[in-house]
Structure 1
Amino acid sequence: MVKGVSRQVIVVKSPDPRLFEQAIFIVKEDAFGKGVTADDVLQEARRVADGYIRRNTRWNRMWRKIPAPVYAAAGALLTTVCWSVAMLL
């Protein structure tokens, strides 16, 4: 049990409700003492939440699982196809 502690929090609604409903950010006590406005803090929280969604979509997870040699082989194959088409023309 914690007594006498109060925190400021920011609750950001999710732009993509498939992943989560809302994100809760706990604001540092000295965040507003450095010339930062409440709007700045809210914009940063929204930016971070949006970045999380972009990094953790199914498409991005799939691309990260492909090993580098597969990319190299696909590039070599594409180069061979382009070279062959150019030679036929």
Structure 2
Amino acid sequence: MFILSLTYRKSNDEADKHMEPHMAWVKEGYAKGWFLASGRKVPRTGGVILAIGERAAIQAYVAADPFTVHGVAEYDIIELAMTTTVEGLEILKR
């Protein structure tokens, strides 16, 4: 499992200019079965995505995010070897 933590490197106004294509990219990540949950950080300094899949594929996908392409945000990709979950969240152990 991966935690994709993105931090804005540009203003929220600049992020808003690229939000529509970024959200299309996020929706495609869900369609691929890689993304499990996502949302904004509070305060709004970036966001977090919970993902599963192969590291190389996730890294390549992150590189194609419009936020990455336009220098709006930088990603920190954290890999976890999840060992324990509550019932119903076993998918996180992948």
Which category of TM-score, normalised to the shorter sequence, fits these structures? under 0.3
Give the structure with the larger helix fraction: 1
Rg larger in 1 or in 2? 1
Give the structure with the larger strand fraction: 2
User: Which is bigger in relative contact order (C-alpha 8 A, separation at least 6)?
Assistant: 2
Q: TM-score, normalised by structure 1?
A: 0.23
Q: TM-score, normalised by structure 2?
A: 0.22
